[in-house]
Structure 1
Amino acid sequence: MTAPSLTLGYVPGGTPAKWVRHWAQRHPDAPLQLCAVAAADAADALRAGDVDVALIRLPADTGGLSVIPLYEETTVVVAPTDHLVSAAETVTAADLAAEPVLLPLDNVVAWPDAPGTPIEHQPENTEAAVELVAAGMGVLIVPQSLARLYHRKDLTYRPITDAPTCPVALAFQDGPQSPLLEEFIGVVRGRKPGSSRGQAATPPKRTAREKTLAKQAARAAAGKVARKPGRPGRGRR
């Protein structure tokens, strides 16, 4: 009999390692399969059932999907190490106004008014665009994780302080979920092992007065149990 498993898709720059580790500790008999997907294809992969759950970048076409926002990535500019931007720790959009900018076909930064002059040639993907940055054709604006993923010794990157952030979310198909998927969603949300949304809520803590009254009631009950039948107020001689 085939062991149950779950397939997790993740876009370039996605970092599922923490959740993969936690899952392996809790469910060693239910493998979590990893599947790399292009950012533009992640939502379609979910709708087609190629993956059960995925780390996706927003904005995206999420029709038919449930989405849980996870975190916001810093947007950076990638440039050669001898570029002027390397002289500062951060830059602004105004600093890039006169720069030629590469826009790969898989661009994931939603910034309609991005600074710079777009280069007519659009690289097929971000990795190819990084090669062109190294060749001196222009700079590249990407989420920080992609700058790290495709890092080269002859390139550097700097945060753009007034750029929009790049959201990352967990997505899965709408509708009833399998127990494994429900469990994985719980792992991502930080639910502790053994906890369940169906468990009764923890009773509220009692106030000091309620505790005092409870102790008095307990003492009174104990006195009634200990007292033997007979005339009240008179002990045995």
Structure 2
Amino acid sequence: RIYAQLPLKELAEKIRSHFPKKHPQGNTPLFPPEGEVALMFLKPYTGLSDDGLIEMLNGSIHMQMFCGVLINPGRPIKNGRIVSSIRNRIASVLDIKELQKILYDRWGGSLRDKDMCLTDATCYESHLRFPTDVKLLWECCQWLQSLVAKTCKALKERQPRNKYRDIDRARLAYAKQRKHTKSATDKLRRRLLGLLSKQIGQWNMICKIHTV
């Protein structure tokens, strides 16, 4: 009943030209364009997280039919990030005005107050994060590294060497860990402090040599 009320084909036509014919790894996409749009409707309807939505999709043949896909029980979808990937891609190409027109054409007969417009005025902070020692130290190292690189390029001198790239790889490996142990955090903090001290010394040496 819900499926019959959704203009999935019309909405899918708006993203069909941006629909990947092949996955970057060479596989064919799991969901058709109509299925991707249907999956976006299922997200607010069920109120589940991305992982919860995929888990429900794996175990419900009705939800699979709703999205136009048939999942092998022996090979379920394990990547919950596929929902956010589809959402980001659709959001980047879908025009809100065209979306509203398509929905109005389908649901116009059921709307009472067609001259009324309701909007959500909720405001919230964005780009918030917890300023840990590792994050703050790494930002200092990044800033100093870029400053030294630009200065050496302007002076046509060789950039002094340090362990910036090695520590960057260690920081990325640390960031990908789900749980950060105290020993790993302390080790990375010591390495960042050592790198920062090295960079400050290199910058002071450059200033000492080229300051008149």
Instruction: Give the TM-score normalised by structure 1.
Output: 0.21
**Hey, which of these two has a bigger chunk of strand by percent?**
1
Instruction: Give the TM-score normalised by structure 2.
Output: 0.23
